Structure 1
Amino acid sequence: MYQQLEQAQQFHQLHQQAHPLILVNAWDAGSAQTIQEAGALAIATGSWSVAHAHGYEDGEQLPFELVLANVQRICKHSDVPVTIDIEGGYGQTPEQIQHNVIQIIQCGAVGINMEDRLRAGDGLYSIQQQQAHLRAACAAADEMSIALFINARTDIFFQAAVETHDHTHLEATIQRAHAYAEAGAHGIFVPGICDEQLIRELCQQSPIPVNIMFSAEMPSISTLTACGVARISYGPHPYLQLMDALKQSSIRALAGQSF
């Protein structure tokens, strides 16, 4: 437990605007070990990759007992801080979410991602509802006496077409960043945002460190650093890249060619 407490403090310190934390998202213990061997300072899972690696769709379709078993294996074989994507918290009430977060912590994790997307996939929880969910996660951390890093994800940009992104989306995101910080979140995760000026303004106005998800449409890492981004994650892209490589190798092998 002492090592976990140290890792929790370390993970908080890794979120710096001048040196953003790069997270290549893992999906199981093997991928986590490989990413750690490459020099990663922390391990993060992505719910989409974890679900598909287990044969399920994203959106809390993966049974929570499998989530916990996967977390436990990843933490057991990792020497760096581990943060877990738990989607919406796998609970319909704050009490259920608190209970689930306690179990995540007991598995060894020191951080979580929790999103405001409705389980059905369309629309977001109200600010007040999501604040209640985040406070439940904080209560779990308090109960376990650990400085759990709570990364609050908002899907405002993610659920809108890129060509429609404007300051209306930015203002709504900043409003949620302030509300989520008030509820105890330590970071704001905004997947889907890719316009440099919008990212810069978000970083300037957010009260907590900004996490974005890298994609081909994004500015360079150096530009994101200059904008003030403190955390850059890769979401499902590492899994998709590896699965594509496996598919192409399998096609060659099954055609009688060299693997």
Structure 2
Amino acid sequence: MASKFETFSALHVPGDPVILYNIWDVGSARAVTAAGAKALATGSHPVGDASGFGDAQQVPLDFVFDNAGRIVDAVDLPLTVDFESAYSTDPEEGGANVARLKETGAVGCNFEDQVIGGEGLHPLDLQVQRIAAIRSAVGGDFFINARTDLFLKTQTYDDALIDQVVERGKAFADAGASGFFVPRLSDPAQIERVVREVSLPLNVIAFPGAPDKKVWADAGVARISHGPFPHRALMAKLTEMAREAIG
């Protein structure tokens, strides 16, 4: 029987992407499981909003681990956790934090390259060291979804930016990443180039106004996340329902 790690990794098929409708707690995990999901993924923003701590590594580590463990215990699907920047800029400490996350039963995590609470992205050489340290700490089965926030830090989505995306993707692969996540990358032609030049399965995020998922699948995407948008839509609906009841 395949392990949860193997099952999760095998879902990343270019052209037939796994859909991750991001969750934040046991209740949302059970709801998405009932909808027919093949795997589950937390989003740092919805976890932060639902818990009241906020995003950008404001959720205490113990809460992150406890939340992940409760979800793993409540459902049978593999769970990956949005672990932001591993709660440390130090490679070894970040690796140790991800190892603790693996102990909860999670099969993978997102790991981003933006400077939390600062400006811009971590230098590529440092980010490569950080990914390598995580891989060393967690072993070969854990799915490290290495994320670059290049698209989130600019308004100019030209070929020069894609050059940087490809450079980071190749370096992340060499450092031991399992997948490559580029939030806000959406143009099919640019996606096709990244898929062609970076060996890792590509993850993009669905957002209001994004291309149809079939367009992305045809371009070679292997994973589509939904980020904070499900939680935001649900909270907007809750506010509307409450307004109707109160009014």
TM-score bin (small chain): over 0.9
| Aligned structure 1 segments of 4 or more residues deviating by more than 2 angstroms | none
- Normalization by structure 1: what TM-score? 0.92
State the partner residue of 2:44. Answer: 47
State the partner residue of 1:153. Answer: 147
The yes-or-no answer on 1:205 pairing with 2:202 is no
Partners of 2:101 and 2:198 in 1: CA distance: 27
Partners of 1:214 and 1:178 in 2: CA distance: 23
Contact 1:47 1:58 in 2 (8 A): yes
Partners of 1:201 and 1:217 in 2: CA distance: 22
The yes-or-no answer on 1:91 pairing with 2:83 is no
The yes-or-no answer on 1:252 pairing with 2:247 is no
The yes-or-no answer on 1:68 pairing with 2:65 is yes
Q: How does 1:74-223 map to 2 (within 5 A)?
A: 74-142=71-139, 147-161=141-155, 164-223=156-215
Partners of 2:200 and 2:98 in 1: CA distance: 21
- Post-superposition shift, 1:196? 2.1
- Structure 2 gaps of 5+ residues are none
Give the superposed CA RMSD.
1.2
- Structure 1 gaps of 5+ residues are none
Contact 1:59 1:121 in 2 (8 A): no
Partners of 2:91 and 2:21 in 1: CA distance: 30
- Normalization by structure 2: what TM-score? 0.97
Partners of 1:46 and 1:209 in 2: CA distance: 19
- Post-superposition shift, 1:121? 4.4
Partners of 1:98 and 1:194 in 2: CA distance: 30
Length, aligned pairs only: 247
The alignment partner of 1:150 has SS state of strand
State the partner residue of 1:225. Answer: 217
Render the CA deviation track for 1:19-65: whole Å, top value 9, x for unaligned.
11100000111101110111100000110110111112211011111
The alignment partner of 2:224 has SS state of strand
State the partner residue of 2:20. Answer: 23
Q: Percent identity?
A: 37
Contact 2:92 2:134 in 1 (8 A): no
The alignment partner of 1:171 has SS state of helix
- Post-superposition shift, 1:195? 1.7
Render the CA deviation track for 1:157-211: whole Å, top value 9, x for unaligned.
11112xx211111110000000000000011000011222212211121111100
